[in-house]
């Protein structure tokens, strides 16, 4: 029998038992829907992380102090206070593979403005920091190299801080006190949102590096150095140059370990990818199990269907259907059941991904390759689990099938 | 005399019911020639239905040889048997055996859809033609439950005819029908037979057998009687008598 006739017969048989067909498909629907949801959300958060890493800055390299080693007892990363403004100056002067360099000096404390106060982090940076980290100013201005030299008491507020301290007024030009040091607000940063780890990146105050170092911190060591390589191809060269320059600045012997750590964004991306990848794999395998269960459901109902329609099979065999025709008929019915379930599953999975995504603030990404794979896979599930019942039907003896009551 | 179209020699069919073995056919030998109209009679349990199923290649004998148009059927595989049933044999079942919730037209079309050797260009037209031949040209889109017994039986006959098989096997084709419809069907059979078709009809009604050209009677799986009916009755004429002078409304 020709394919379109077989499909027609199968559709008719499915439509005849609507409720039963729907319940049979339910397993597949749930399985496919969860696969689609998981993958869409997984890929979505992956994209979010990538976007966030890009927003961290282009070709970003971060230098942190290395671990301390006192007579064999090692401290953690950053325990050694090895970075200073001199390092930054050296890099600015000698580096050829770096476009921008900025120190990062952090201090935290209570910030008071009028009747409001707020505890936050004050980060001292150079004016290049904006370019390195892809930050933007929403209103006012950022400080200049001159402000840094003169240790000017100027501050640029993150959005959250601005909202907390100046809920009703424009903060530009206002005064505030950070740990009793008076500062003048000269600008407000554009909103940056949450980081991948859930930190509010807008809960921050920027001030010139030297200002923070000498007025709020210890006046000696800085916490980080952020730098931008001149291009993404130059990342490795830039890393090498950073290492050479800092080693020479720190006067390290050739056999001595680095007293600093250089990290770049690819590591962060890899780590994040690994985490979401593991999560997606885990959830997908759960979804895979439910597809398997759905397939068994199809097999079960196909067996019932074969028994129920034994007489029909007998009639078809008696008027000249080959065993293969019967096999094809039931296989196609199983495949259509499964594919129909798959289609409904894809549709509800996409809706669920979109719904959950907007609820959790994660974007859902629809990957056509995943949808196609799912379609092929559900078809295969149908054929695989339909095969046993179909073969049972095809192997019936015509006279036994006709006599079946 | 043409060569035997169907030739059975020493056919045995044994059913085992637990420990008991029942011999439905016991060394039956029989030949049927092209163009014959054979009625097979016998009481219940005489083996006539078993014989019919074997003739129709629906069942296989326990022993013995069955040659259909000189081909030993026992050498054919399941696929070849299906093709033989499809193209060479039209089978009319006792209980009609139409597909439920499927229109008369689709039921009749079905054997053509399974035909792989002669891809039929327009199966639907052929099915309509077959239904018109049995006088159901106006019932194409009716499903079995919308048709009377006689109409269902005629759909079944149309389904058997549609592939133009050389032989039609009918198992109690008039079993549940009133005498008027029975005569209708028999008239149709006689007409088909005159057109050259071989007809083998199983019946337990002596009246029905009188319309056949040859009468075979079975008892306990062996041949009891095999005789030629020199003067078969004419169903069309009897039908005219039954319906009185108003013969123009017949069938």
Distance CA B240, CA B245 (A): 7
- Regarding whether A233 and A352 lie in a shared domain, the answer is no
**Chain B residues with CB inside 8 Å of A393's CB?**
none
Q: Are A320 and B115 inside 8 Å of each other by CB?
A: yes
A86 touches chain B (CB under 8 A): no
Nearest-CB residue to B114 (from A320, A398, A402): A320
- Regarding whether A320 and A378 lie in a shared domain, the answer is yes
Domain limit, last residue, from A228, A258, A288: A258
Query: Is B174 within 8 Å of B92 (Cβ atoms)?
Result: no
Domain limit, last residue, from A194, A228, A258: A258
Q: 371-400 in A: which are within 8 Å (CB) of B?
A: 397-399
Task: Confirm whether A65 is domain-assigned.
Answer: no
Query: Is B67 within 8 Å of B7 (Cβ atoms)?
Result: yes
Distance CA B66, CA B11 (A): 8
- Regarding whether A234 and A116 lie in a shared domain, the answer is yes
Q: How far is A319 from chain B (nearest CA, A)?
A: 5
Half-sphere exposure of B162 (CA within 13 A, CB side): 34
**Chain A residues with CB inside 8 Å of B83's CB?**
320, 322
Residue A196: band (very low, low, confident or very high) from pLDDT cuts 50, 70, 90: low
Least confident of A57-71, A386-400, B114-128: A57-71
Residue B251 has pLDDT above 50, yes or no: no
Q: How far is B4 from chain A (nearest CA, A)?
A: 23
Nearest-CB residue to B97 (from A2, A315, A320): A315
Distance CA A402, CA B170 (A): 15
First-residue to last-residue Cα distance in chain B: 34
| Mutation site, A319, A321, A322, interface B, largest B CB count within 10 A | A319
- Helices then strands, counting H and E runs in chain A, come out as 13, 12
Pairing mode of beta strands B63-68, A69-70? unpaired
Q: 103-142 in B: which are within 8 Å (CB) of A?
A: 110-111, 113-116
What contacts A291, CB < 8 A, 6 or more positions away? A27, A28, A31, A32, A35, A377, A378, A381
Distance CA B227, CA B216 (A): 7
DSSP tag of B94:
T
Domain limit, last residue, from A235, A258, A281: A258
* The pLDDT of residue B167: 95
Burial group, residue A288, by CB count within 10 angstroms (0-12, 13-18, 19+): middle
- Regarding whether A248 and A103 lie in a shared domain, the answer is yes
B163 touches chain A (CB under 8 A): yes
Distance CA A328, CA B82 (A): 15
Facing residues of A116 across strands? A113
Nearest-CB residue to B110 (from A319, A398, A402): A319
Task: Confirm whether A18 is domain-assigned.
Answer: yes
Distance CA B98, CA A38 (A): 49
Task: Confirm whether A180 is domain-assigned.
Answer: yes
Six token digits for residue A142:
């950022």
pLDDT digits (tens, 9 = 90+) for A16-42: 889 999 998 998 898 888 888 888 888
Strands (E), A20-149: 60-65, 69-70, 73-74, 98-113, 116-125, 137-140
Rounded to an integer, what is the distance from CA A353 to the centroid of its chain? 14
For the four alpha carbons of A367, A369, A370 and A376, in that order, the dihedral sign comes to positive
Q: Output the CA–CA distances (angstroms, integers) from residue A396 to A93, A301, B61, in the order listed.
A: 88, 18, 17
Distance CA A363, CA A355 (A): 10
- Regarding whether A383 and A307 lie in a shared domain, the answer is yes
Distance CA A309, CA B40 (A): 31
Distance CA A171, CA A117 (A): 14
Six token digits for residue B179:
């005498």
Distance CA B173, CA B156 (A): 9
A16 touches chain B (CB under 8 A): yes
Residue A218 has pLDDT above 90, yes or no: no
**Whole-prediction pTM:** 0.70
Query: Is A333 within 8 Å of A305 (Cβ atoms)?
Result: yes
DSSP codes of every residue in B213-251 = SEEEEEETTEEEEEEE-SS---HHHHHHHHTTT-GGG--
Distance CA A26, CA A344 (A): 9
B98 touches chain A (CB under 8 A): yes
pLDDT digits (tens, 9 = 90+) for A243-276: 999 888 888 888 888 888 888 877 666 777 787 7
- Regarding whether A117 and A234 lie in a shared domain, the answer is yes
Task: Confirm whether A61 is domain-assigned.
Answer: no
**Chain B residues with CB inside 8 Å of A402's CB?**
58, 93, 97
**Chain B residues with CB inside 8 Å of A311's CB?**
97
Task: Confirm whether A155 is domain-assigned.
Answer: yes
Residue A56: band (very low, low, confident or very high) from pLDDT cuts 50, 70, 90: low
Task: Confirm whether A184 is domain-assigned.
Answer: yes
**Chain A residues with CB inside 8 Å of B110's CB?**
316, 319
- Regarding whether A156 and A122 lie in a shared domain, the answer is yes
Residue A192: band (very low, low, confident or very high) from pLDDT cuts 50, 70, 90: confident
Half-sphere exposure of B192 (CA within 13 A, CB side): 32
Residue B106 has pLDDT above 80, yes or no: yes
Q: How many CB pairs under 8 A join A and B?
A: 63
Q: How far is A340 from chain B (nearest CA, A)?
A: 23
Facing residues of B198 across strands? B167
**Chain A residues with CB inside 8 Å of B78's CB?**
322-323
Distance CA A43, CA A51 (A): 12
Q: How far is A311 from chain B (nearest CA, A)?
A: 8
Domain ranges of chain B: 98-164
Query: Is A291 within 8 Å of A28 (Cβ atoms)?
Result: yes
Burial group, residue A265, by CB count within 10 angstroms (0-12, 13-18, 19+): buried
Q: Rounded mean pLDDT of A131-135?
A: 84
**Chain B residues with CB inside 8 Å of A16's CB?**
101
* The pLDDT of residue B62: 93
Distance CA B8, CA B15 (A): 19
What b/e sequence results for A194-224 when a residue is b if at least 16 CB atoms lie within 10 Å of its CB, and e otherwise? Answer: eebeeeebbbbbbbbbbbbbbbbbeeebbbb
| Mutation site, B81, B108, B114, B130, interface A, largest A CB count within 10 A | B114
Distance CA A397, CA A405 (A): 14
Q: How far is B234 from chain A (nearest CA, A)?
A: 30
Least confident of A213-227, A281-295, B181-195: A281-295
Task: Nearest chain A residue to B53 by CA: give it.
Answer: A399
Residue B248: band (very low, low, confident or very high) from pLDDT cuts 50, 70, 90: low
- Regarding whether A288 and A199 lie in a shared domain, the answer is no
Six token digits for residue B40:
């097979």
Other CB atoms within a 10 A radius of the CB of residue B10 amount to 13
DSSP codes of every residue in A317-374 = HHTT--HHHHHHHHHHHHHHHHHHHHHHHHHHHHHHHHHHHHHHT------HHHHHHH
Secondary structure class of B26 (helix, strand, coil): strand
- Regarding whether A372 and A245 lie in a shared domain, the answer is no
Task: Confirm whether A115 is domain-assigned.
Answer: yes
Residues of the domain holding A252: 83-258
Q: 303-332 in A: which are within 8 Å (CB) of B?
A: 311-312, 314-325
- Regarding whether A198 and A102 lie in a shared domain, the answer is yes
Nearest-CB residue to B91 (from A2, A318, A321): A318
B250 touches chain A (CB under 8 A): no
Q: Are A320 and B85 inside 8 Å of each other by CB?
A: yes
Secondary structure class of B216 (helix, strand, coil): strand
* The pLDDT of residue A405: 75
Distance CA A368, CA A288 (A): 19
Task: Nearest chain B residue to A4 by CA: give it.
Answer: B113
Query: Is A258 within 8 Å of A66 (Cβ atoms)?
Result: yes
Six token digits for residue A218:
């210890």
**Chain B residues with CB inside 8 Å of A324's CB?**
79
Task: Nearest chain B residue to A329 by CA: give it.
Answer: B114
* The pLDDT of residue A381: 87
Residue B1: band (very low, low, confident or very high) from pLDDT cuts 50, 70, 90: very low
Distance CA B116, CA B124 (A): 16
| Number of domains chain A contains | 2
């Amino acid at each position: 029998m020709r394919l379109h006739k077989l499909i027609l017969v199968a559709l008719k048989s499915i439509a005849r038992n609507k409720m039963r067909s729907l319940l049979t498909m339910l397993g597949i629907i749930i399985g496919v829907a969860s696969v689609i949801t998981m993958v869409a959300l997984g890929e979505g958060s992956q994209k979010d992380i990538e976007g966030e890493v890009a927003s961290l800055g282009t070709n970003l390299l971060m230098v942190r102090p290395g671990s301390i080693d006192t007579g064999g007892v090692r401290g953690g990363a950053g325990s050694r206070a090895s970075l200073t403004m001199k390092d930054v100056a050296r890099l600015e002067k000698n580096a050829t593979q770096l476009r921008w360099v900025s120190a990062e000096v952090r201090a935290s404390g209570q910030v008071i403005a009028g009747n409001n106060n707020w505890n936050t982090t004050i980060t001292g940076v150079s004016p290049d920091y904006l370019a390195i980290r892809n930050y933007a100013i929403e209103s006012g201005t950022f400080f200049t190299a001159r402000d840094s030299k003169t240790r000017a008491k100027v501050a640029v507020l993150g959005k959250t801080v601005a909202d907390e301290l100046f809920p009703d007024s424009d903060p530009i030009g206002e005064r505030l006190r950070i740990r009793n040091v008076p500062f003048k607000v000269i600008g407000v940063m554009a909103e940056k949102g949450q980081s991948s780890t859930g930190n509010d990146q807008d809960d921050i105050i920027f001030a010139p590096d030297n200002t923070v170092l000498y007025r709020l911190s210890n006046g000696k060591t800085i916490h980080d150095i952020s730098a931008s390589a001149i291009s993404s191809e130059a990342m490795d060269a830039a890393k090498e140059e950073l290492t050479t320059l800092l080693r020479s600045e720190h006067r390290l012997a050739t056999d001595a370990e680095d007293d600093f750590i250089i990290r770049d964004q690819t590591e962060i991306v890899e780590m994040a990818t690994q985490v979401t990848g593991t999560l997606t794999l885990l959830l997908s395998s759960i979804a895979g199990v439910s597809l398997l269960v759905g397939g068994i459901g199809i097999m079960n109902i196909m067996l019932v269907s074969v028994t129920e329609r034994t007489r029909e099979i007998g009639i078809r065999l008696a008027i000249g259907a080959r065993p293969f025709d019967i096999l094809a008929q039931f296989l196609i019915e199983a495949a259509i059941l499964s594919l129909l379930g798959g289609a409904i599953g894809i549709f509800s999975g996409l809706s669920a991904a979109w719904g959950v995504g907007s609820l959790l603030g994660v974007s859902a990404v629809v990957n056509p390759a995943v949808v196609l794979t799912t379609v092929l896979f559900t078809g295969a599930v149908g054929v695989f689990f339909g095969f046993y019942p179909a073969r049972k039907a095809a192997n019936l003896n015509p006279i036994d099938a006709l006599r079946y009551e | 005399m043409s060569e035997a179209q169907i030739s059975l020699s020493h056919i045995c069919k044994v059913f085992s019911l637990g420990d008991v073995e029942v011999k439905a056919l016991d060394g039956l030998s029989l030949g049927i020639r092209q163009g014959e109209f054979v009625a097979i009679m016998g009481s219940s349990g005489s083996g006539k239905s078993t014989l019919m199923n074997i003739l129709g290649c629906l069942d296989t004998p326990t022993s013995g040889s069955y040659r259909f148009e000189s081909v030993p059927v026992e050498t054919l595989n399941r696929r070849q048997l299906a093709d033989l049933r499809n193209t060479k044999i039209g089978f009319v079942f006792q209980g009609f055996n139409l597909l439920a919730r499927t229109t008369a037209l689709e039921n009749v079309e079905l054997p053509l859809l399974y035909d792989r050797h002669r891809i039929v260009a327009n199966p639907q037209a052929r099915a309509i033609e077959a239904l018109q031949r049995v006088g159901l040209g106006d019932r194409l889109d009716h499903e079995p439950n919308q048709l009377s017994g006689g109409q269902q039986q005629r759909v079944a006959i149309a389904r058997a005819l549609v592939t133009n098989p050389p032989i039609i096997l009918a198992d109690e084709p008039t079993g549940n029908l009133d005498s008027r419809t029975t005569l209708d069907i028999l008239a149709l059979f006689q007409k088909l037979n005159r057109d050259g078709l071989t007809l083998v009809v199983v019946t337990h009604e002596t009246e029905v057998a009188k319309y056949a050209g040859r009468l075979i009677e079975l008892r306990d799986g062996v041949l009891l009687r095999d005789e030629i009916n020199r003067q078969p009755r004419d169903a069309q004429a009897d039908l005219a008598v039954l319906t009185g002078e108003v013969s123009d409304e017949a069938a």
